[in-house]
Amino acid sequence: MSRNKSPRLRFAGFAGAWEEKKIGDVLTEVCRSISLEDDKKYQLVTVKRRNEGVVSRGYLFGKDILVKNYRQLKAGDYLISKRQIIHGANGLVPSELDNAIVSNEYLVAISNDDLSTEFLALLSRTPEMYRKFLLSSYGVDIEKMVFNVEDWKTRSINLPTKPEQTALGDFFRRLDETLAQERARLAKTQQLKRAMLAKLFPAHGETAPKLRFQGFSGDWERKMLGDLGHCVSGVGFPEREQGGSDGIPFFKVSDMNLSDNEVVLKKANHYVTETQIAERKWQPIEQLPCIFFAKVGAALLLNRKRLVNQPFLLDNNTMAFIMNNGLNDYFIKTLFDTIELPELAQTGALPSINAKDVENVSVLIPPTSEEQTAIGNFFQKLDQTLALQSAALEKLTNLKKALLAAMLV
């Protein structure tokens, strides 16, 4: 528990230290036992990990629910999964799940004069509360740890007055609504891209797409990726050479996670100088543009690709496809988006692909460079929209994290 019992950031009108209280002294548990009727349908719920909330898991007739020890929920209840809380499985029951039911594997709490469930849900997102959940859980397997509710109740939290709890709850609820809108907007654009990939590229067994830009016709041409370019694998990147900020980028898988790198790799965590390049006898890739992707391990299974437009080096967990001259770079990037690289992986303990696996992939391309360009331009704009939406969502997510740290004790 923080020694400073006043938050760094506060709404106007609130002052004074927050009061330290034991959870058990302010928590009100509730058990609305219900007798299940065989021919009645009941909505069951579960709590998702990573603080993603309470969701429905469908309807069942009472006769199909084998364990009969169920409780009824009300909107606004605070729910904890006793077997998943260390994975963030807690949250508020939304209005659409009012009167749903849950087993006795869950703790159910309601608001009282000291503590609102909405504020408790906020506290549950903090690292300090996660630590309390972990300390109050037992077991040797992290996937099977069980939550000791009584031990958790002996731990302390800092509480503001009920009006300040309400103000904080209202503020973060509105912020969550904005985040939900941004996620929905991003998901809609991602769905649009999947749909357009399916329409603007030929389906399996077809030689022409379902949808064409005006002025284009005829069958697409069958090629091997090796006819369109070639693959280059990365090189070892010793730790002592890492950490530089000058020179050319030395790309690693993790660079695909950086902001502004959602489509084109614009920046890197590590740069190397001409001196390093000469001493190590590295050969930077200067035939551009290229497609960058992981070639081994879990990163390969994510099936992510990025375009590179600047000279670079890449580490030995990655690979680059260097395209031939005369091809539209963004069409080739989009063509790669239609390819499931994990399906090319060689069997074994560690999934991996090599240059031949990629170069031997059979693809169809438009018969004219003009159609390639039209398709490339369309998806470039779509990917730019996706990048902007992803950045906005990341910015809001980081803002919420910062505000939680500043406004809670």
Distance of CA 153 to the CA centre of its chain: 32
Per-residue pLDDT of the chain (409 residues; tens, 9 = 90+): 445 589 999 999 999 999 999 999 999 999 999 999 999 999 999 999 988 899 999 999 999 998 888 999 999 999 999 999 999 999 999 999 999 999 999 999 999 999 999 999 999 999 999 999 999 999 888 888 889 999 999 999 999 999 999 999 999 999 999 999 999 999 999 999 999 999 999 999 999 999 999 999 999 999 999 999 999 999 999 999 999 999 999 999 999 999 889 999 999 999 999 999 999 999 999 999 999 999 999 999 999 999 999 999 999 999 999 999 999 999 999 999 999 999 999 877 789 999 999 999 999 999 999 999 999 999 999 999 999 999 999 999 999 999 999 999 8
Looking at residue 343, what DSSP letter applies? G
d(CA 379, CA 174) in angstroms, rounded, equals 33
Domains assigned to the chain: 1-17+160-215+366-409 (1.10.287), 19-159 (3.90.220.20), 221-365 (3.90.220.20)
Q: Shortest CA distance to 107 belongs to which of 125, 129, 83? A: 83
| CB crowding 249-259: b at 16 or more within 10 Å, else e | bbbbbebbeee
Q: What global pTM score does this model have?
A: 0.84
Distance of CA 165 to the CA centre of its chain: 29
Q: How many CA atoms lie within 13 A of 123 on its CB side?
A: 22
CB 108 within 8 A of CB 31: yes
Residue 130 main-chain phi, psi, to 5 deg = -60, -40
3-state secondary structure of 245: coil
CB count in 10 Å sphere of residue 1: 13
